[in-house]
Structure 1
């Protein structure tokens, strides 16, 4: 004769011998559930943190970033450091073409203006033109590359042949033509550089777009009713942005060099001070033949250092985004 098993209720309200399902921890009182926007921002912060962690391993990239940060801070503080009066020809404090001294560490120009002050003030225009021209160039190249890679067919063939025509034409010659036929201003220089230097970005972005659109999730998005605009903006563009970022960083140094060349040829804005404009003024003043090296050296060295810094940063960014390259260490 067997006795019945007796079950006694436990403190949790279940009986002994019964399996209990795991209970999820209760959310803290007053806490709001994460929204879609907060989750997206958290994901972006993690991405930026990972990017910076990898970027810090590239010593050359860190040197370039430190140099750019210093130059950018000096350019932003130019009104406080030297003031806008340094550009005035009528209120020049020194004599024409004075060599470096305690009062003028880099000497003076042909009007008696301090070259150190002009160098600091000119950094604002040179950096601004380089950034805007590179942004315009990359924007045009990205738009052309994504559209050509997405639609394909005869449309892509026509667009790429036009791109090849721009690619084989000398960029500097096209920029000189545009700067000559348009009014002389800073925006003309930006436009001339931007609309002539986009083909390389367009070809790179087109190749990346074709690679992205061959992935299965693009086919699923199309099957679910995603249109051309949705596919290009929500799926293709985020995947080509790392390439666009690296190309922008590398393009700024080229834009700065092109701006300096146009200004040296007398096609820049005569109302503003830039490093290329300083070289053009030195040429007109006969600094090369008369041996006034202090007039030529500072702007030339500044252009070279900024271009080098942007190139180092661009190579480091490219290496972080594409570890297979293995450059920049």
Structure 2
């Protein structure tokens, strides 16, 4: 067979292999490559990603970094309120437990609460926002009225009341934070969905027989997802701060160790009046760093995924 015939055969084989699924995968791969190229050009976003990666590794590898027996008050033998030493780099708490061990395992709870509460918040906010932006009229007025009602009520008093009613448990804290932090997401998504609803391809989809559910899930939701994704990352930091605040106020799960509960114990045991900085500063610094990491990543995602911000940054 001649080289000319071989080339034509290879081209025909390539055209046959280019199925719609393969083309879609290639487009997604190219889109992800372009996204990562744009993202890594933002140094702040890369720094935030590295910071979150470190905390994630600490949370996953907690049993390898510290013995979980160190959390059991009945099994510790160290003196209480001990200053930092080679054996206890960050000292001990009022029960003789290593502060470093508490910090390591507290990373798990703080991140878990932040991510789980954010999932609830974003699910509620996205659903409310898409429905309000797509349907409009009286339903939009009703849903936005409910959203405004939640926005008017101060978050902390509402969370305290709900936390007191539901009781102190990890699941209740997640639910309380999730159902009190969704209005901001709903407002943003509703505004974006309203603009998407007026685009011509939705009219074409409707003319072809697409029902409301198909239009919302296949056309509206994918177009608002970049905004939802960026807002989700920013919401995690708010949820972690909320968990820290509620735990510091004594509304957290007493059986679980989080950064907020460490601060609560420090305050209750008089660590601040004793000038025991090792009991107060480490959990506070961890909260600041993880919130900063999520904020940097969220702002970078917003800049990369929002064409308007990207064009403004390039000017």
TM-score (norm 1): 0.89
Shift in CA distance, 141/150, structure 1 to aligned 2, threshold 3 Å: same
Q: CA RMSD in A?
A: 1.9
User: Which residue among 236, 239, 242 is the counterpart of 1:252?
Assistant: 236
CA distance in 2, matches of 1:164, 1:219: 30
Could you say which residue in structure 1 is the equivalent of 2:96? 112
SS at match of 1:287: coil
Of the two, which has the highest radius of gyration? 1
Could you say which residue in structure 2 is the equivalent of 1:83? 67
Superposed CA offset, 1:161-220 (max 9, x none)? 111010111112111111111132111111001101111110110111111111111111
Structure 1 segment 151-300 matched on structure 2, within 5 A: 151-300=135-284
Conservation of the 8 A alpha-carbon contact between 1:61 and 1:328: no
CA-CA distance at 1:26 after TM superposition? 2.9
CA-CA distance at 1:36 after TM superposition? 3.4
CA-CA distance at 1:39 after TM superposition? 2.8
Q: Unaligned regions of 5+ residues in structure 1, if any? A: 1-11, 13-23
Aligned length, in residue pairs: 307
User: Which residue among 2, 5, 8 is the counterpart of 1:25?
Assistant: 8
Structure 1 segment 90-105 matched on structure 2, within 5 A: 90-105=74-89
SS at match of 1:191: helix
Could you say which residue in structure 2 is the equivalent of 1:317? 301
Conservation of the 8 A alpha-carbon contact between 1:316 and 1:328: no
SS at match of 1:193: helix
CA-CA distance at 1:328 after TM superposition? 8.7
TM-score (norm 2): 0.93
CA distance in 2, matches of 1:151, 1:29: 47
Please tell me whether residue 64 in structure 1 is matched to residue 48 in structure 2: yes
